[in-house]
Amino acid sequence: MKLSVIVVSYNVKGYLSLCLDAALVAMSRLGEGESELLVFDNASDDGSADWVLSNYPEVELLRSDENLGFSAGNNAAIRRSKGDWVLLLNPDTVVPEDTFEKVLAYAESDPHIGAIGVPMFDGAGRWLPESKRGMPTPWASFCRMSGLWRFAPRSPTWNGYYFGHVAPDETAPVEVLSGAFMWMRRAALEEVGMLDEDFFMYGEDIDLSIRILNGGWVNQYFSQAPIVHFKGESTKKGSLSYVRVFHGAMRIFSEKHFAGGQAVAMRWMIRLGIQLRAVTAFVHGRLIRHALSVVDAFSVGLIGWGMVRL
C-alpha cells in the first residue's frame, strides 16, 4: 500500500465532511487498494464520531474515551496504518483531487526525502506562511512573535521563522513543516520515532521535523500541490488557554533542542516578542483590532511571574 491518510478529529463536524470527501477523491486517483483513510476521534462530544461511522464505511474509525491530544491521536493511528507513506492531515483542510497523485510522484523521485509539506491557503485565498518554516531559534521566535518579520518577509535574518528566503511558489528544502499536511516516509518515521506525546498540542510538528532532519533526511516544501486550510482550531489564539498551551509546548521544545542558556533565552524572547506586539498595536491606535495581542501580553506576563502555571 502506498499511502495512509490520518485525520485526528476533535469537535470539528462542520469541517470533517469537506476534508474526508476531498481526501477520498484524491485517494481514488492512486488506484484501488493503494491507500487507506484513518480517522482518530479524540472523545468529541458533537456527534462527529458516530456521524463518520454512519456515513463513511470506507474510513477506519478509531475512538478514544478521552482527549489524548494531537500527538497521541496521530501515533495511535500511525501504529494501525500500513502505507509506505503516512500523511497527517488536519480535519479543517481540503485537498484538490490531484494532490496525492502529485505529491506521491514527487516523493518517490528522491530517496532522500523524509517529509513533504505543501502551500496552504486559508478560506479567503491567502497564502499561510506556516506552510514552511525554519528552526525556531530564540531570535527567529522573537521576530515572529513581535511581528518584525513582516517588515522584511524575504529576509533570512528577520524572517527565519517562516523561511522567508524561499518564495511561496518555490520548491526547496526547508527545516520545519506543518502538521496540518505532513507527508512522511514510513522508513524515516521508524528511524527517528513518531510524534513526541509530551506535546499535547502545538510544537509537535516542529519537533518531528527537526528530528527527521537530524536523522539525515530532507524536509521538502513542494510548491506544486496547494491545499486549503481553514484553520478552524477549537483553541482560539489569544485566549489564556492558547497562551498556556503554546508556551508549554515551546518550553518543552526549547528544553529538548537547546542548551540551558539558549532554552532560557528562547522563553524570554517569545514573551518579549508578544509584549512588543501588543505595545506596537496600542501605539498605532489599533487597540480594539489587536485586543488579542494585549490578552497575550497580559497572560504571558502572568506566566512569566509565576502567577499562572503552565
Residues 207, 96 share a domain: yes
Residues 180, 84 share a domain: yes
Number of domains in the chain: 2
- What pLDDT digit, counting tens, does each position of 257-292 carry? 566 666 566 555 656 655 555 555 555 555 445 555
CA dihedral 91, 240, 200, 81 (to 10 degrees): 0
Judge whether 235 lies within some domain.
no
Q: For residue 32, what pLDDT is reported? A: 96
Judge whether 146 lies within some domain.
no
Query: Which are the contacts of 14, defined by CB distance < 8 A and separation ≥ 6?
Result: 232
Q: For residue 197, what pLDDT is reported? A: 83
Q: For residue 310, what pLDDT is reported? A: 41
Sign of the C-alpha dihedral, residues 199, 232, 24, 119?
negative
Q: For residue 303, what pLDDT is reported? A: 44
Residues 297, 195 share a domain: no
Q: For residue 285, what pLDDT is reported? A: 52
Residues 123, 244 share a domain: no
Instruction: Please give the grid coordinates belonging to residue 190.
Output: 521508524
Query: Each residue's pLDDT tens digit in the chain (310 positions)?
Result: 999 999 999 999 999 999 999 999 999 999 999 999 999 999 999 999 999 999 999 999 999 999 998 999 999 999 999 999 999 999 999 999 999 999 999 999 999 999 999 999 999 999 999 999 998 888 887 888 778 899 999 999 999 999 999 999 999 999 999 999 999 999 999 999 999 887 656 679 999 999 999 999 999 999 999 999 998 544 445 445 555 566 565 666 666 656 666 656 655 565 665 555 555 555 555 544 555 555 455 444 444 444 444 4
DSSP state of 130: G
Residues 218, 247 share a domain: no
How far from 159 is each of 11, 122, 144, 176, 257, CA to CA, in Å?
A: 34, 21, 7, 14, 20
Q: For residue 36, what pLDDT is reported? A: 99
Q: For residue 259, what pLDDT is reported? A: 60
State which of 229, 252, 270 marks the end of a domain.
229
Q: Which domain holds residue 38?
A: 3-132+176-229
Residues 122, 25 share a domain: yes
Q: Which of 265, 138, 156, 132 is nearest to 205 (CA)?
A: 132
How far from 114 is each of 193, 234, 294, CA to CA, in Å?
A: 12, 30, 39
Q: For residue 78, what pLDDT is reported? A: 98
State which of 168, 195, 229 marks the end of a domain.
229
Q: For residue 300, what pLDDT is reported? A: 47
DSSP state of 127: B
Residues 292, 185 share a domain: no
CA gap 38, 43 in Å, rounded: 15
What are the backbone dihedrals phi and psi of residue 174, each rounded to the nearest 5 degrees, phi first? -130, 180
Judge whether 153 lies within some domain.
no
Judge whether 267 lies within some domain.
yes
Judge whether 160 lies within some domain.
no
Judge whether 149 lies within some domain.
no
CA gap 310, 302 in Å, rounded: 10
State which of 205, 229, 253 marks the end of a domain.
229
Q: For residue 307, what pLDDT is reported? A: 41
Model's pTM, two decimal places?
Answer: 0.81
The DSSP element (H or E) to which 207 belongs, if any, is helix 204-214
CA gap 278, 297 in Å, rounded: 6
Specify the residue for cell string 484513518. 38
Judge whether 143 lies within some domain.
no
Residues 209, 282 share a domain: no
Residues 247, 221 share a domain: no
Residues listed for the chain: 310
CA gap 32, 37 in Å, rounded: 13
Judge whether 72 lies within some domain.
yes
Residues 200, 72 share a domain: yes
The DSSP element (H or E) to which 139 belongs, if any, is helix 138-146
Residues 204, 106 share a domain: yes
What CATH number is given to the structural domain containing 118?
3.90.550.10
Q: For residue 178, what pLDDT is reported? A: 96
Residues 69, 127 share a domain: yes
Number of neighbours of residue 133 by Cβ within 10 angstroms: 25
CA gap 60, 7 in Å, rounded: 10
